[in-house]
């Protein structure tokens, strides 16, 4: 079972899920600086399943260098349950969503020991109508830091 498959459809039984995650992840594994047990990972996978229906991943790029694997992907799904974000929990919207993500995995002895996850949460929340991004980048004045420094020392 591939890494993304574990998250797309983790095994239903707790022991089967634990074995499947243990085949890929160290216990504990460091995720964005926080030590998580396999139990935590399984809970997160189940939460993902409860927040989204028709969950699928499109791998955009994958690069392996030494003991590091970088995967850029888009998660696509229908938002049907509570979605935990940096801004709090977003109730189900029924909307189709896309979440662009980059995972940087460190491997040791064939297991993922560290994982750094960067998701474009702002774009997703904007598309869901949770936050509003006003204006267009072309409408904003360009700030020239060099000119500002020159002006302030003159």
Could you read off the pLDDT tens digit of each residue along the chain, which spans 154 residues? Answer: 789 999 999 999 999 999 999 999 999 999 999 999 999 999 999 999 999 999 999 999 999 999 999 999 999 999 999 999 988 999 999 999 999 999 999 999 999 999 999 999 999 999 998 888 775 544 444 444 444 444 544 5
Residue 126 falls inside a structural domain: yes
Residue 146 falls inside a structural domain: no
Total of domains in the chain: 1
Residue 111 falls inside a structural domain: yes
Q: Give me the half-sphere count of Cα atoms (radius 13 Å) on the Cβ side of residue 106.
A: 9
Cα gap 117→19, rounded to integer Å? 23
Question: What's the whole-model pTM score?
Answer: 0.82
- The DSSP 8-state label assigned to residue 139 in this structure reads G
Domain that holds residue 108: 3-135
- First-to-last C-alpha distance (Å) of the chain: 64
Q: What is the CATH number of the domain that holds 44?
A: 3.10.450.50
């Amino acid at each position: 079972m591939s890494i993304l498959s574990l998250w797309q459809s983790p095994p239903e039984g707790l022991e089967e899920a634990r074995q499947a995650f243990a085949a890929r992840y160290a216990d504990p594994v460091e995720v964005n600086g926080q030590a998580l047990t396999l139990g935590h990972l399984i809970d997160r996978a189940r939460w993902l399943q409860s927040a989204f229906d028709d969950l699928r991943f499109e791998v955009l790029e994958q690069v392996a260098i030494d003991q590091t694997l970088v995967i850029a992907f888009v998660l696509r799904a229908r938002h049907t349950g509570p979605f935990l974000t940096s801004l709090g929990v977003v109730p189900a919207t029924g909307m189709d969503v896309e979440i662009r993500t980059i995972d940087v995995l460190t491997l040791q002895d064939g297991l993922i020991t560290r994982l750094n996850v960067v998701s474009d949460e702002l774009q997703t929340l904007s598309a869901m109508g949770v936050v509003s991004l006003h204006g267009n980048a072309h409408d904003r004045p360009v700030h020239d830091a060099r000119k500002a420094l020159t002006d302030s020392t003159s």
